[in-house]
């Protein structure tokens, strides 16, 4: 039998779902059209899977087609926030969904746009999560309702100009308790959404006991400065900022009661690393889809690029990278819901998935040839955004050392 016409058995040969992001007309005769080739979403309940499909369809039809020009201009599409809220993307962490569905939702936002997925992830994992898990009842009553529908936006201010990977021991921003409240002094850098957020969860070192504590600081207070970081190669929709705190006075109640030492903060960082792993899985779905669509429509040397053996090998590598990443993150989600989830698991998932994403993005960009350097085809946009995923929430190298310490018992940090 000619291999080109050999049938593929099983249910996977069925027509793509109506709400799939793939080009159903282009791929009508493709036996395995879904980028999630192992169909991890089948582990969800029917109800959760239906919700995933609804959100996916919204993101692919209403968000992905309009975000490109914003990316080019380094602008934020504020008018999209009510739409994101309408589909529950402002309250993922409060939804009661399974950890697997939460992860797949983060992946779907990334599949549509990496920058917006950064906002949605930081908003949920680090801001909503911090207030819900570490905040007081007053904090929850003041902020959570607005955060749920994106009428309020927060940011997570931990990284500093001189301290990134070494922030746990090197954090230099200070907090001094006075009769009138806490006085915050210092600088923060790379703060996502910092240019327009209503408040920041600011981490500062208590000058009296030397512990790192978390505070809610409204960004319209006297002494707060905000400066946009421009000319980024990726995540250009996300408005990163330098934040300055010049003797900023906040009330005593601004202290997060669950973040009076760095241990509370570390739990948030562990969860956010797993979230970035889901981002890396989601972007790989987009990379594969954009590359496959391109080679199925582009003719060179008298035939479709998809007909060439080297191209097919690279597509197989991409979809394999994506399958490995999603499967790993699904197991991480299981650990999060059951027992034993720890920082090395999150670090391994984040490091591995972003490494795979980087390889796939490079292959796809090159596959596009000259068109691969234009944002029109999305390949260069994805290529640049992946570089940011590879670096933030713990660089690839730092996360690898966390895993190395876990499997050897020997620390390379000291």
Rounded Cα gap, residues 81 and 20, in angstroms: 23
β-sheet bridge partners, residue 58: none
Which pLDDT score, from 0 to 100, does residue 21 have? Answer: 61
* Sign of the torsion formed by the C-alpha atoms of 280, 321, 289 and 345: negative
Question: How many Å is the Cα radius of gyration of the chain?
Answer: 22
| pTM metric for this prediction | 0.91
> Which residues lie below 8 Å from residue 123, measured CB to CB, with a gap of 6+?
90, 147, 150, 153, 154, 193
pLDDT of res. 261: 83
CATH number of 263-408: 1.20.140.10
* Fold (CATH) for 41-149: Butyryl-Coa Dehydrogenase, subunit A; domain 1 (1.10.540)
Q: What percent of the chain has pLDDT over 90?
A: 80
CATH of 154-260 among 2.40.110.10, 3.30.565.10, 2.60.120.260, 3.30.70.3420: 2.40.110.10
The whole-chain average pLDDT of the chain stands at: 91
Q: Could you report the per-residue pLDDT of 6-58, keeping only the tens digit for each?
A: 333 333 333 344 455 657 778 878 888 889 999 999 999 999 999 999 999 99
Mean pLDDT within 290-301: 92
User: Residue 53 burial (CB < 10 Å; 0-12/13-18/19+)?
Assistant: middle
Mean pLDDT score, 146-161: 96
Q: Return the domain boundaries, the chain.
A: 41-149, 154-260, 263-408
pLDDT mean over 178-192: 97
H or E segment and range at residue 213: strand 212-218
The pLDDT of residue 18 is 41
Task: State residue 380's pLDDT score.
Answer: 94
Q: Is the dihedral of CA 154, 158, 162, 165 positive or negative?
A: negative
pLDDT value at position 22? 59
Task: Decide if 154-260 and 263-408 have a common fold.
Answer: no
């Amino acid at each position: 039998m000619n291999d080109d016409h050999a049938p593929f058995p099983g249910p996977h040969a069925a027509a793509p779902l109506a709400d799939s992001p793939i080009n159903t007309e282009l791929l009508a005769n493709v036996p395995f059209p879904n980028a999630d080739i192992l169909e991890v979403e089948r582990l969800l309940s029917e109800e959760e899977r239906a919700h995933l499909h609804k959100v996916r369809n919204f993101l692919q039809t209403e968000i992905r087609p309009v975000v490109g020009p914003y990316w080019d201009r380094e602008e934020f599409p504020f008018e999209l926030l009510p739409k994101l809220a309408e589909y529950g993307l402002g309250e993922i962490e409060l939804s009661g969904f399974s950890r697997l569905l939460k992860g797949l939702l983060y992946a779907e936002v990334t599949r549509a746009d990496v920058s917006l997925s950064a906002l949605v992830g930081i908003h949920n994992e680090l801001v909503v999560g911090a207030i819900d898990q570490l905040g007081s009842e007053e904090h929850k009553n003041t902020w959570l309702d607005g955060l749920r529908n994106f009428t309020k936006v927060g940011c997570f201010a931990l990284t500093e100009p001189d301290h990134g990977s070494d922030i746990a021991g090197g954090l230099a921003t200070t907090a001094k308790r006075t009769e009138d409240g806490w006085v915050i002094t210092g600088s923060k850098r790379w703060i996502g959404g910092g240019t327009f957020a209503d408040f920041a969860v600011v981490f500062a070192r208590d000058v009296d006991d030397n512990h790192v504590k978390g505070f809610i600081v409204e960004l319209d207070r006297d002494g707060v400065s905000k400066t946009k970081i421009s000319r980024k190669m990726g995540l250009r929709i996300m408005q990163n900022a330098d934040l300055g705190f010049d003797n900023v006075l906040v009330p005593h109640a601004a202290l997060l009661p669950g973040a009076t030492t760095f241990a509370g903060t570390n739990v948030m960082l562990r969860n956010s690393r797993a979230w970035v792993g889901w981002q890396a899985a989601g972007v790989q779905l987009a990379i594969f889809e954009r590359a496959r669509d391109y080679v199925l429509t582009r003719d060179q040397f008298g035939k479709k690029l998809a007909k060439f053996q080297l191209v097919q090998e690279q597509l197989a590598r991409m979809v394999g990278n994506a399958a490995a990443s999603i499967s790993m993150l699904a197991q991480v989600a299981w650990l999060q819901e059951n027992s034993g989830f720890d920082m090395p698991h999150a670090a391994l998932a984040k490091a591995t998935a972003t490494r795979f994403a980087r390889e796939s993005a490079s292959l796809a960009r090159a596959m596009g040839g000259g068109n691969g350097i234009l944002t029109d085809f999305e390949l260069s946009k994805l290529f640049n955004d992946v570089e940011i995923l590879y670096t933030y929430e713990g660089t690839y190298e730092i996360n690898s050392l966390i895993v190395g310490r876990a499997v050897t018992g020997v620390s390379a940090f000291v």
